[in-house]
Amino acid sequence: MRPAEFSPESIIQAGQDLQAAGRNVTGFAIRQRVGGGNPNRLKQVWDEFVASKSVTEAEPVAELPVEVAEVVSAVSKALTERIAALAVELNDKAVKAAERRVAEVLRAAGEQREQAERELADASQTVEDLEDKLDQAATEAEGLKKQLADALTVSQAQAVELAQVRERLTAAEQSAKAASEQHAAAMLQATSSIESERVRHQQEAERLRSVIEQNRSELAAVKAKADADQAQYAEQKKIAADEASRAADRLNRAETEREEARQGASLAREELANLRGQLAAIESQRAELVQALAGKSSSSAKGE
């Protein structure tokens, strides 16, 4: 059996406090005063306390008066009519006693009904208080749901913006890779043409050797310049990759700080513009190199 949560002394003290405050002592009123407990048990403890203070007086058994006893003794053998009259008188007294008991029972039932009504009023007040608390909790829950929806909307917008920036970075990397491949193909073609010219010049006469040696020196210088351009392009590509990595890091942090993501995206666009400028410069240098090689080839043909 589960032990009582509140001692009888605390329950009795709560009931006395309610009486001192002029309030009805009910199970729910005692429960609110002590802060918990079963209302039925609380009311039972209080009723037992009240009953212990009341002096129970047993109703004396009705006895025949002395005069009636003497009359009965005198005429018991002679007058049966008097016995019948006495029986009627006794029955009347019994009926009256029964009526008194019925009145007491009705009075007790009325008191119990009034007590139940007070209990019901206290229970209704408790239910209303609980309903108010429930409405307040529902309002707070609605506010939290709205805050969560707003946070999800902001997060989705940041995710879309991050995906767009990543797509732009991927496109920039692909463009840089394509430009590198084109530059390598051009260098390979130029090297092949130079090698063909070198083989052909070696078959020329001795009188053209000096011209071929001069062209070879110029070709070496051009190749060195092309190698330098290639190294510079590789370095620039590495720098671009490092910058792209740093931009990706900044974009990752932008998932939690939107303003930093926008700044990172702006910086990435500026770096992409720089890369495009550098690629344009490299293309210009390559064009100049091809034009220089074409000019040297033309000079060699004129010398022959």
DSSP state of 65: -
Residues 40, 170, single domain; the answer is no
Question: Within 13 A of 290's CA, how many CA atoms are on the CB side?
Answer: 13
**pLDDT band per the 50, 70, 90 thresholds, residue 214:** confident
Length of the chain: 304
Domain endpoint, select from 16, 34, 53: 53
The per-residue pLDDT for 19 is 92
In a domain, 139, yes or no: no
What pLDDT, on a 0 to 100 scale, did the predictor assign at position 16?
Answer: 93
Name every residue whose Cβ is closer than 8 Å to that of residue 230 and which is 6 or more positions away in sequence: 183, 184, 187
How large is the average pLDDT for residues 251-274? 79
Q: Determine the average pLDDT of the residues in 246-263.
A: 76
User: Would residue 35 be called left, alpha or beta, if left means φ above 0 and alpha means ψ between -120 and 50 degrees?
Assistant: left
Contact 6, 27 (CB under 8 A): no
> Residue 20's pLDDT is what?
93
296 or 189: whose pLDDT is higher? 189
Residue 257 forms part of a structural domain: yes
Domain presence at residue 281: yes
Q: Tell me: pLDDT of 39 over 60.
A: yes
Residue 140 pLDDT > 80, yes or no? yes
pLDDT on residue 5: 72
Query: What is the pLDDT, as a whole number, of residue 144?
Result: 82
CA nearest neighbour of 245 among 261, 262, 266, 268: 268
The lowest-confidence range among 30-44, 165-179, 262-276 is 165-179
Residue 270 within any structural domain of the chain: yes
Mean pLDDT within 61-84: 69
* 47 confidence band (pLDDT: 50, 70, 90): very high
Residue 223 domain-assigned?
yes
- Ranking 18-22, 34-38, 255-259, 267-271 by mean pLDDT, the lowest is 255-259
- N-to-C CA span, the chain: 122
Which pLDDT score is estimated for 40? Answer: 93
Q: Specify if 269 maps to a domain.
A: yes
Is 113 domain-assigned?
no
Residue 185 lies in a domain: yes
Average pLDDT over residues 276-294: 87
Whether residue 90 is predicted with pLDDT greater than 60 in this model: the reply is yes
Give the mean pLDDT of the chain. 78
Structure confidence at residue 265 as a pLDDT band (50, 70, 90)? confident
Are the beta carbons of 41 and 4 closer than 8 angstroms?
yes
Q: Say if residue 44's pLDDT is above 90.
A: yes
Distances (CA, A) of 76 to 63, 71, 91, 197: 18, 8, 18, 170
What are the two backbone dihedrals, phi and then psi, of residue 67, each rounded to the nearest 5 degrees? -65, -45
Own/partner contacts of 138-144, CB < 8 Å, gap of 24 or more, are: none
On the question of pLDDT at 43 being above 90, the answer is yes
pLDDT on residue 269: 87
Residue range 165-209, pLDDT digits in tens? 788 878 878 886 886 688 677 667 856 765 777 777 678 768 867
Confidence class for position 102, pLDDT limits 50, 70, 90: low
Percent of the chain with pLDDT over 70: 78
Q: What is the count of structural domains for the chain?
A: 2
Q: What is the residue range of 29's domain?
A: 1-53
Higher pLDDT, 7 or 113: 7
Residue-level pLDDT at 257? 80
The two tokens of residue 32 are: 């609110």
